[in-house]
Amino acid sequence: MTDNFPPPSQIFRNSPAQAYQGFVKGARICFNNLIKEFENQSSYGEPKLSIPIKRFSTYGGDSAEWIKKHFDYPTQRACSVDYCNMQLAGTGWSVTAIRPAETRKQTWDYEKDGWHWMSFPALTVDMEWTDAK
């Protein structure tokens, strides 16, 4: 009955780095792709941005694995928000949310011998200008 209450010497709380262990690689990839899309999609005078990120696997038949991980795991999205904000510190920009989204892509269907549209997981990154450098 008292197994649920260990002695103080055995109580362990995860630091944020330990809590997000395994999610940092995906967060780093997300940030690198956010940089590319920000350069392409940002425009003068917009204090709030919603940047869609679409990446596909090597052969184009599915979304990239890191996108699927963000799509499936809220913890991955939370880690990526924290990581992006840590990297953006001092720039005036902050990431407010990373939301799962879907995108459509035309692909070749060998069974039907023709092109058709398919839905794939994607991400939408919400950013805002805080002007607090």
**Tens-place pLDDT, residues 29-58:** 999 999 999 999 888 888 999 999 988 887
Q: Which amino acid is at 17?
A: A
Q: Determine the average pLDDT of the residues in 47-73.
A: 85
Residue 2 vs residues 5, 7, 8, 12, 29: alpha-carbon distances, Å: 6, 10, 13, 17, 44
Nearest to 23 by CA among 74, 58, 95: 74
Domain spans in the chain, listed from the N-terminal domain onward: 14-129
Nearest to 51 by CA among 87, 91, 83, 95: 95
**pLDDT above 90 as % of the chain:** 41
Residue with tokens 């055995």: 10
SS3 at position 112: coil
Q: Determine the average pLDDT of the residues in 12-16.
A: 60
Residue 112 vs residues 47, 59, 92, 109, 119: alpha-carbon distances, Å: 46, 19, 50, 6, 17
**Res. 59: pLDDT tops 60:** yes
Given a contact cutoff of 8 angstroms between Cβ atoms, the answer to whether 61 and 54 are in contact is no
The pTM assigned to this predicted structure is 0.77
**pLDDT above 70 as % of the chain:** 83
**Res. 103: pLDDT tops 70:** yes
Which of 8-12, 61-65, 80-84, 116-120 has the weakest average pLDDT?
8-12
**Res. 12: pLDDT tops 70:** no
CA 37 to the chain's CA centroid: 13
